[in-house]
Amino acid sequence: MFIYRILTSNSGISDKLVVTLASILAIFFSIIMHEVAHGYAAKLNGDYTAKSAGRLTLNPVVHFDLWGVLMMLLVGFGWAKPVPVNPANFRNRKLGMITVSLAGVITNLLLAGLSLLLLYLFAPLFVIPVTNAAAAVFRTLGLHFLLQMASLNFMLAFFNLMPIYPLDGYNLVNTFLPYGNPYQRFMVRYGFFVLIGLIVLSQIGRAFNAPYLDIFGMFYDLVYKLIQRVLAAGLGVK
C-alpha cells in the first residue's frame, strides 16, 4: 500500500515524516487541480455551476472527499469531490463534454511533465552534500514532492481515462453514444463495483506476486522507470 511502503521503508523517522508530508501535499494539489480544471473547462463552455458553487478555488476544504483521499493514501490514486457540471448549459453539448472530460487528465499530464522537467533540471542539487539540517529537510521535501507529483499525476491520468463510471473516461466514451445505450445503463448501475473490483484485483496481484493481475502496479512500474531515467539524465548518468 502507498503509505505502508513509506512507513516500512529503511529511512529514519524524520525522513518518513518528511516523505509523508511531501506525499500528502502532492496528493491534495494534484486532485484539486484536476477538479478545478473540470470547473474552468465547464465555465469556458458556458456552464457556471462550479463557479457558483465556489469550486474554482485551491482551498482543499471545498474539494475534500474522505474516500477519495483514503484511496489515494492506501493505493496511490483516488479522487476529490467532483465539481458540479450541468451539460445543459454548454453552448455545444458534445464539445463541452469532451473538453470537460479531458481537462482534468490533461492537467494531470501537464503537472507530471512539469515535475519531470524540474527533477531533470535540479537533479544535481539533490545529490550535493548538505551539512545544514534545515536545508537537508527542505531538500528532501522538495525532492519527494516532485517525485510524488510526477508519479501521482501520471497515475491519476491513467486512472481517470479508464472508461468506467464515474471516471472521466466513461464520460468521454459515453459522449459519442446515444442516450440510454446499454453501456451507459450498465456502467451507471455497476461501474463503481467494477472499479472497486479492479482495485481489489490489483492489490491481490501485488500481494501474491501476480503482476498480470496488477494493472495499476504495471503502469506504476513504467512511470517509476521513466522517473529514474529522467533523474539519471539530469545527473549525466548513461
Catalytic positions, written as ranges: 35
Report DSSP letters for 120-151, one per residue.
HHHGGGGTS----HHHHHHHHHHHHHHHHHHH
**45: nearest Cα among 106, 94, 90:** 90
Measured distance CA(221)–CA(158) in Å, rounded: 13
Cell of 53: 458553487
* End-to-end CA separation in angstroms for the chain: 31
Sign, CA dihedral 29-32-34-38, equals negative
**Peptide bond before residue 163 is cis, with ω within 30 degrees of 0:** no
